Copies of this chain bind each other. A is one copy, B any other.
Amino acid sequence: MQALIQAMQRSRVCVGIDPHSGLLTSWGLPDTAEGVREFSLRVVDELAGSVAALKPQSAFYERFGAAGITVLEETLRLARARGVYTILDVKRGDIGSTMGAYAEAYLRPGAPLEADAITVSPFLGPGSLAPAVDLAREHGKGVFALCLTSNPDGPSVQHAQRDGVSVAKEICDWAATANAKAPTVGLVIGATVGDAVVGNGLDLVSSQSIILAPGLGAQGAQASDLPGIFGDALPQVLGSVSRAILKLGPGKMASAVAEFEAK
């Protein structure tokens, strides 16, 4: 995670690479693995020098099976060659040797789909993510655990409580413990969750987590909303934006990132 912390000295923006069919069409590209390839390589090429991180969304590559995954490999390779931090958005979550296999797939140096960090889903309990956290720590990589999302259905799970502690708070406390050894675990907290951080009693500063905050731009949050949501943890926030940048099309994205940054 150290590399990301350094990258955040010069940029506080992560751009998602979301080659969904609507965007491919608006870019004049076919809705095929080849279209996804053109799109992805162009985004990496244009933005590698101006963002803190790029976040490819695996779902849009998986649509095309092995052909799509070949493109994802190439996208991650190009990003690495350009020296930009990659957060692969896969939201994996499983137990034991299966979670270990996901970790091997994405966090093992030299793996075909090696990224600098991945997103993970703690539905099986945050402790189930240990194989990914351990491998990430070993190699200086990162794991971003879903914590508080801004979709309307999120609170039904994330605000639920056990012994007076919400699921979201338990994940935040678990991150704090994991990060006491070395910064490894980040948290995904939507930029549109309103007062849920305070309401769930999350101590984000003590967690020492980088906070990946999707929802800027198309999903309705403004950079000016962030201080109210994250309070003293604002310096830990990496704002994530996808469609508001991607929809502009090639040649216009880098300047739009600079505008985001200025806010």
Contact = CB atoms under 8 A, between A and B. Distances in A.
Given A127-B152, A128-B151, A156-B162, A101 B64 contact: no
Interface in A61-99: 62-67, 69-70, 72-73, 91-99
A146 interface: yes
A256 B35 CA distance: 47
Contact of A153 (B105, B121, B126): B126
A18 interface: yes
* Chain copies in complex: 2
Contacts of A125: 151-157
A203 interface: no
A92 B92 CA distance: 7
A63 B98 CA distance: 10
Interface string A149-173: 1011111111111100011001000
6 contacts: A18-B97, A22-B97, A57-B101, A59-B99, A122-B157, A156-B167
Interface of A: 18, 20, 22, 57, 59-60, 62-67, 69-70, 72-73, 91-99, 101-102, 104-106, 111-113, 121-128, 146, 149, 151-162, 166-167, 170
